[in-house]
Structure 1
Amino acid sequence: MTVPGRGVTLALDGVLTADETARTAARIAALQRPDGAIPWFRGHHLDPWDHVEAAMALDAAGHHTSARAAYEWLARHQLPDGSWYAAYDDGDADRPTDRSRETNFCAYVAVGVLHHHLATGDDGFRRAMWPVVTAAVDFVLALQHPDGPIGWKRENDGTPVTDALLTGCASIHQALRCALRLADLADDPRPDWELATGRLAHAVRCHPERFLDKSRYSMDWYYPVLGGVLRGDAARARLAERWDEFVVPGLGVRCVLPNPWVTGGESAELALALWAAGDSARSTEILAAIGHLRAEDGLYWTGYVYADDAVWPQERTSWTAGSVLLAVAALNGDPATTAVFGGDTLPDGLPPRCCVPADTSDA
């Protein structure tokens, strides 16, 4: 096994020093349970998506052993149908608090596994996790509609919730592209995944009417860019379209309209989307703007109600800090992070025969 070095120092002028990013990574690692689980914070719950995001941040900061433990937790506790429950009390696998299984939560393991493999060069890990990824992807794609979108979740009794969420599906698109790259590395072709990825990308790009209307949420605005569906001019045009609605200069990004509430996670994710769209300058500005959310211990407050000059809620989550570190890592050129969020080396899937003249992407 060849293990690359940490690659680049995580630091960004005007945003974080190397010592500050190291402190943040150490605080995320301190929230991890001995069994590898990373809850939002100790005493709160773990969800699989945010668990993976925190693990990726640990890898970006060089905490590879801790990150691997997080993925091994997922491998040990994957359900027979390839899924995970939506929430576990304090990350305790024996105490699920939400027994539904959300598709975007389950798909995201593919992004994390590829990221860890690229960060470490650990082929043994990749091979061991490949069955976990395949089972998770097959669970997710069982809920895909013929016209592309993927249903939100299965209830505990197995009933599918067929309503599709644009943000979740854009995230699944990123995960499917990572899964296809892992399939290439495993020499295990998955043509059905290629077709599914193409159908999903087309739906996100061209058919917003196929998704629930969540346009009040900033995630629905930027996630088609963050999830790799839109790039180049198309990505920049989408981000420009609602910039003034969601971005509060000097404070960050609103989570939901019309609430006067900026949140660290959405702000850092927008920074990643801006970076992916080729706008590193504004990406850095957004990260600098949320410096007011950084706590003394190196973690980040979830949000700030600027109309009341109040931090709310009173919590500092592993995933908010993780999203900041991942955005800084992308801006630093960290190879694993730029690969999974930039997508230049990820397969695109096969587009469907639908709206062909309109279904173009600007690389």
Structure 2
Amino acid sequence: MSGKDTGHGTQRLALPGVFTAEQAAVTAAAIAGIQRADGAIPWFRGHHLDPWDHIEAAMALDAAGDHRRAAAAYHWLARHQLPDGSWYAAYADGDATRPTDRGKETNFCAYVAAGVLHHYLATGDEEFRERMWPVVYAAVEFVLELQREGGEIGWRRDPDGSACDGALLTGCSSIHQALRCALALAELRDDPQPDWELATGRLGHALRHHPECFLDKSSYSMDWYYPVLAGALRGAAGRARIEDRWPEFVVEGLGVRCVSTNPWVTGGESAELALALWAVGDSERAARVLRWIGHLRAPDGLYWTGYVYADEAIWPRERTAWTAGSVLLAVAALTGDEATGAVFGGAGLPRGLEAEECCDRS
């Protein structure tokens, strides 16, 4: 297995006003300190693990050059994948024997494709890519069982196996990105997946043109920027979406509200917005947003989840691996990390079969 220790890859993660290379190394080491010996990365020790945030933290470790620990996180997923290709939504402290939510969320399961492609691009590890392909394949097949007539994908299977009503715009945007990564992995194997191509195209069409397909979560900032971050909207359309609700969600000098109605800015949403800004070519404003959330950085290199500015109070009193991971990934994109740029920039990822193409071929 190829691998490096934390800190060896952080020299290029210096971004003025955000952190130095040495501070980036401290942040990466703090994420590594949360990781269990078996590879699991809970939010923080004693809290739960969910697969989506586990993968985001693993991607950050790869961006920081700690490929050994990142690979361990993916091997944890491989060992604990359920027979239907899914994972449970939450595990107590990352202990696979103690699931605390036996529901199965589609965006949590799909995201393994983005993480596996990111790790492969960061390391060139062919053995890893081949070992993880069956994991990705099974996860994608599980997710696509919940695709609906309009192209959207239901957000969850309940513990009794029934599919929940409704699809989430944020979750489906993330799934769309993950499906494109899965198609890229299939191309690397010369293993065409035409059903995935069609499903990806249908989902992208729904995200761009049919907001009525999704549950109304418009008060959440993730629903605002995620179609841009995950690549469903780019160019002029992506920039217009960002500008449309900027005053509603952005608190100048502090960060991004999680919910438009609450006086609460959060580090994860702020870093993800920065990544979305980078993706549409606005690196200057992306760096500015990252500088704003310096007030959330703790001495141990992790980041507080959020700040209630009406009360001038840090809340909740927690520092999560995924918040720190989102900052590292945003900085990695801004400073030219190729693997991060490929997965989040998306220029070289397959787009799937667009709905208009389907009509032309019918």
2:204 is the alignment partner of 1:201: yes
Q: Distance in 2 between matches of 1:220 and 1:98?
A: 23
Match of 1:128 among 131, 155, 159: 131
Q: Is the 8 A contact 2:154 2:167 kept in 1?
A: yes
Q: Distance in 2 between matches of 1:354 and 1:169?
A: 21
2:173 is the alignment partner of 1:175: no
Question: Secondary structure of 1:163's partner?
Answer: coil
2:333 is the alignment partner of 1:343: no
CA deviations over 1:154-209 (Å, ceiling 9, x no partner): 01111011310000000000000000000001111000000000000000000000
Superposition pairs of residues 185-224 of structure 1, within 5 angstroms:
185-224=188-227
Q: Distance in 2 between matches of 1:186 and 1:70?
A: 23
Q: Distance in 2 between matches of 1:55 and 1:222?
A: 22
2:271 is the alignment partner of 1:268: yes
Q: Is the 8 A contact 1:3 1:121 kept in 2?
A: no
CA deviations over 1:275-317 (Å, ceiling 9, x no partner): 0010000000000000000001000000000000000000000
Give unmatched runs, 5+ long, in structure 1.
Answer: 357-363
The aligned amino acid for 1:68 is A
CA RMSD of aligned residues (A): 1.7
Which residue of the partner structure matches residue 293 of structure 1? 296
Q: Is the 8 A contact 1:8 1:332 kept in 2?
A: no
2:154 is the alignment partner of 1:154: no
Q: Distance in 2 between matches of 1:294 and 1:314?
A: 12
Q: Is the 8 A contact 1:3 1:122 kept in 2?
A: no
Q: Distance in 1 between matches of 2:17 and 2:225?
A: 24
CA deviations over 1:95-136 (Å, ceiling 9, x no partner): 000000000000000000000000000000000000000000
Which residue of the partner structure matches residue 88 of structure 1? 91
Question: Secondary structure of 2:100's partner?
Answer: strand
Which residue of the partner structure matches residue 44 of structure 1? 47
Question: Secondary structure of 2:307's partner?
Answer: strand
What is the Cα deviation at residue 355 of structure 1? 11
Q: Distance in 2 between matches of 1:157 and 1:2?
A: 40
Give unmatched runs, 5+ long, in structure 2.
Answer: none
2:248 is the alignment partner of 1:237: no
Q: Normalising by the residue count of structure 1, what TM-score does the alignment of the two structures yield?
A: 0.96
Q: Distance in 2 between matches of 1:27 and 1:232?
A: 36
Question: Secondary structure of 1:269's partner?
Answer: helix
